[in-house]
Amino acid sequence: MKFDTPAGSNPIDQLKVVGHPIDRIDGPLKTTGHAPYAYERHDVVANPAYGYVIGAAIAKGRITAMDVGAARAAPGVLAVVTHENAGPLGKGSMNTARLLGGPEIEHYHQAIGVVVAETFEQARDAAALVKVTYAREEGAFDLAAVRDSARKVEQSASAVGDFEGAFAAAPVQLDQTYTTPDQSHAMMEPHASTAAWDGDSVTVWTSNQMIDWGVTDLAKTLNLPKEKVRLVSPFIGGGFGGKLFLRADALLAALGARAAGRPVKVALPRPLMMNNTTHRPATIQRIRIGCTRDGRITAIGHESWSGDLPGGQPETAVDQTRLLYAGANRLTALRLAVLDLPEGNAMRAPGEAPGLMALEIAMDEMAEKLGIDPVEFRIINDTQVDPGQPDRSFSRRQLVECLRLGAERFGWRNRDPVPGRRRNGRWLTGLGMAAAFRNNLVMASGARVRLDRQGRVTVETDMTDIGTGSYTIIAQTAAEMIGVPLEHVTVRLGDSRFPVSAGSGGQWGANSATAGVYAACVKLREAVAQKAGFNTADAVFAEGQVRAGNRSVSLAEAAGEAGLVAEDVMEFGDLAKRYQQSTFGSHFVEVAVDAHTGEVRIRRMLAVCAAGRILNPKSARSQVIGAMTMGVGAALMEELAVDRRHGFFVNHDLAGYEVPVHADIPHQEVIFLDEVDPISSPMKAKGVGELGLCGVGAAIANAIYNATGARVRDYPITLDKYLDRLPDVA
């Protein structure tokens, strides 16, 4: 099915099941420990062995010698796989560095081997016996130091009008630089895989957000036909973009299993999760805004520097600045430096999350220069068309509504515009806000739907659930379309033998995957109606029956003994070219800062989101408050500390890499605007899981400034950056 015209009324619009706050149907499995994760698949393989990954101890250079003799002779060892005996390996299109290094080393903790043994402890001990000699080379590990050598990424540059001239002529100007650090996904479940061979075919039970991408790249790496590789990933303990791509655990589990002749389990230790896999790269961002004295933006420019391994990609931190605010003269540019750090890549809301951390501070700074309330300044500069293509309107844009409603619900009118003046005992208090923006992306997505002789529905798709509620919203979609109770729907996910879906990433998963289920259900409805002798257009599906006129047939009867099966793919036409599709929101935060110690406490948070039809308000709220929590971490504590001598992330565990805990998070309120977007998909939905993060960091930074008068432009906002600038305490 192709979706290239706005959908009118359809069965989803009944909202009998879709749009309701249904409990997660996988919740009982997870809360009781019965949801099997990749490393725990004891039900699928017998007598597994264990692999332990060896990571490179240098960031750049070569292996000159590798002695594995002692490891091979150690108790319980079944195999040792390195570049010397792994056989010819290809490289997946999604990987910047090779997943098995050697003799060349491209980054610290690049996997250089795996030791397979009868037990995990034996594998770990034997791995410590491998002797590796290196020829170390000088590397680049500091973004600021190589900033001037960064190349301009031409395809990402955008210019409208005469930015330089308009900025120079603007009566009110802002020109500031902001920085964001390297950050880790830090998900609970490690990158983990269990692999087993059957002849020349391999099955890998793994933790991966994008099954088809993973199968494609594992097949390329192993030089196998794609049909010889199967990936299974029904439950994922968090991903945040870090599990979008094939990583070393899956490859080394497969290589280890082939070498040992046994199924093999591999889980990356936490240090390798942070140094071996992907992370959000650091940025340096320069923002220039020129305004008239009444607050109209006449020039807006955003340039961002980031780094990656050779062949890598930039952090797209300027994307939101192209679309969020009006202004006739505009400039955005990305510059990419070569760094010999582990691969930088997608992390929840790549681009917009770090980009808004800078842009939304800059907007507050300009509002203060103008003497205009920050909310009002953003409203003044709203636009209903793409500023770079004025003939292209937004499919739905309710930014102003989000700003006004958020300000009203949060009590913004009580904010003192003079920083550092409100005090509650020893605590300086302040309010901050920021706009939220994230583009709406859609991807082709397929599904298979079965109706059995009992009138029960089974949905199969390789879509994944990374804790977002995919099982539930897919079941809701099928129940709505086929007219059966939710408990009569079974959802099977995360198997490459199922139709290829959109996968979980980029805030596209829920909308795209349910659209694929919608398409398959349309075909199933046609088959049922035909079997029952009805005109499809007249058929009504409800309460386990299909009706037309004064006649009804049960779904079980229509299915017959053999049942009915339908499969389809939702493909999206050119609507995204004709309309700018985006999601919008606002974030409001109250903070308290200890006037003596500088300690920051978040007191309350509010997010207002306009993201199309909300398919399940309960799971959507869970997504948003989780994103808000990540925003607290990004603002106040999260930073991968780089050893600039040896090129690795020093705080590569959850003791040194700080993330928010329960005590850091106050009451969080989430409001969803009543919105549908018929341009987006037949579900009239969008995505919300990343929107909830975008802007949170800046709202906190702006609140800290309002509380203290100390403006910090370098994240995370740790007290050493403003302690000496706190107001004097009487």
**Gap between the Cα atoms of 711 and 713, Å rounded:** 7
| Active-site amino acid positions | 690
Indicate the DSSP class of residue 24. P
- Provide the token pair at 433: 């806000």
Name residues whose C-beta falls within 8 Å of residue 26's C-beta, 6 or more positions apart in sequence.
Answer: 35, 235, 465, 471, 472
- Dihedral pair phi/psi, residue 267, rounded to 5°: -130, 135
**Which two tokens mark 125?**
């001990």
Structure tokens, 631: 């925003």
The 600-610 sheet, strands edge to edge: 423-424, 427-439, 582-594, 600-610, 667-672
> What's the CA gap between 510 and 291, in Å, rounded?
39
- Angle of CA points 83, 116, 108, to nearest 5°: 50
Amino acid letter, 129? L
- How far is it, in rounded angstroms, from Cα 635 to Cα 696? 8
Residue by residue, what is the 3-state secondary structure of 579-626?
A: CECEEEEEEEEEEEEECCCCCEEEEEEEEEEECEECCCHHHHHHHHHH
In whole angstroms, give the CA distance from residue 714 to residue 590. 20
CA distance 570 to 680: 12
The total of other beta-carbon atoms located within 10 Å of residue 112's CB is: 23
Given 3-state DSSP classes, what are the helix, strand and coil percentages for the chain, each rounded to the nearest 5?
30, 30, 40
Strand pairing of 329-338 and 385-386? unpaired
Q: Parallel, antiparallel, or unpaired: how do β-strands 329-338 and 264-267 relate?
A: unpaired
Q: What contacts 715, CB < 8 A, 6 or more positions away?
A: 178, 179, 180, 181, 357, 634, 635, 639, 697, 701
Q: Which amino acid is at 468?
A: T
* Other CB atoms within 10 Å distance of the CB of residue 44: 13
Instruction: Identify whether the C-beta of residue 477 lies closer than 8 Å to the C-beta of residue 715.
Output: no
Rounded CA-CA distance 476/484 in Å is 10
For 160, the 3-state DSSP assignment is strand
